[in-house]
Amino acid sequence: MILEAPFTEAKIRALKAGDLVEITGRLYTGRDAVHKYLHDGGKPPVDLTDSIIYHCGPVVVKEGGKWVVKAAGPTTSIREEPYQGPLMEQYKIRGVIGKGGMGPKTLAACKKVGACYFHAIGGAAQVLAKRVAGVNGVHLMEFGSPEAVWEFDVVKFPAVVTMDSHGTSLHEAVEGASAARLAKILG
């Protein structure tokens, strides 16, 4: 499935857990330091309305005066669980891309706001960096390069919807099924 900017509520509501999507448009990276900063009341350096946040600490180097993305896979999202839901609600963030899934607070916010959790393949830093067509800018560099807000213009960025805006989480399902199997093995 194709998901193109602008990321409207209607487009996001149409997505279901399990959908494979290719995202085209602008993503803003943001991870631990940025989420804490925003949650503590820090001013967003970009307009987050209808945005998609990418949990990513990329390797970016300057070559010939231009930013070049050397590696850009997702980081583990669950660390943002305390902040993600409230920030989604406050800024009408329409989606986050990360890995490993998130918890019930974020799932509830996805349902309320009309947002999705997109699971990119962890460790696939080259496949995903290749889909970054350009770097439009960078903010909050004082947090260090991996923790800064990078503006990535991506083309056909691949991800799986694992938490949708209708209350379904594939992570909950796998965790439940594996817990039942574990209990059986242990007797």
Partner 1 sequence: MDAKTLQARLLELIRRTSCELPPDMIRAVDQARRKEKKGTTARYALDVMTDNIKLAGELSQPLCQDTGTIICYVDRPLWLRESVFAKAFEKAIVEATQKGYLRQNSVDSITGKNSGDNLGPGSPVLHFHETTAKSATVRLMLKGGGCENVGIQYTLPDVGLGAGRDLAGVRRCVLDAVHRAQGKGCGPGVLGVCVGGDRGTGTMAAKEQFFRTLDDENPDKTLAKLEKQLLKEANSLGIGPMGFGGETTLFGVKMTARNRVPASFFVTVSYMCWSYRRNGVTLSEAGRVGRWIYDDGSKR
Q: Is 92 left (phi over 0), alpha (psi -120 to 50) or beta?
A: left
Amino acid, single-letter form, for residue 147: E
In the complex, which residues of this chain contact partner 1 (CB under 8 A)?
18, 20, 33, 56-59, 61, 68, 70-73, 75-76, 78, 99-101, 119, 121-127, 129-130, 143-147, 158, 160, 162, 170-171, 173-175, 177-179, 181-182, 185-186
How far is Cα 105 from Cα 137, in angstroms, rounded to an integer?
31
How far is Cα 52 from Cα 8, in angstroms, rounded to an integer?
11
Name the residue nearer to partner 1 (CB basis): 18 or 104.
18
Name the residue nearer to partner 1 (CB basis): 10 or 20.
20
Hey, which residues are catalytic here?
35
- Minimum separation from the CB atom of position 61 to partner 1 (A): 5
Kindly tell me the sign of the dihedral angle through the C-alpha atoms of 143, 123, 9, 6: positive
- Name the 3-class secondary structure at 139: strand
101 burial class (0-12, 13-18, 19+ CB within 10 angstroms)? buried
Amino acid, single-letter form, for residue 35: H
Helix H or strand E segment including 15: none
4 CB-near residues (< 8 Å, 6+ apart): 23, 24, 25
